[in-house]
Amino acid sequence: MNEHPEDFRNATLRRQAVAHEEMVRGNPEPFIRMWSRREPVSLFGAWGPCQTGWERLVRTFRWVGSRYSGGTAATSVVEVLGLGDELAYTVGYEGQVASVDGAPEGPMRLRVTHIYRRENGEWRLVHRHADLAPPDQSPGDSHVE
Amino acid at 32: I
Tell me the C-alpha distance between 39 and 53, whole Å. Answer: 7
pTM: 0.90
pLDDT, tens digit (0-9, with 9 covering 90-100), for 20-56: 999 999 999 999 999 999 999 999 999 988 999 999 9
| Least reliable range by pLDDT among 41-55, 73-87, 127-141 | 127-141
**Which CATH number describes the domain made up of 5-132?**
3.10.450.50
Domain regions of the chain by residue span: 5-132
Tell me the C-alpha distance between 9 and 114, whole Å. Answer: 13
User: Which of the 8 DSSP states describes residue 85?
Assistant: S
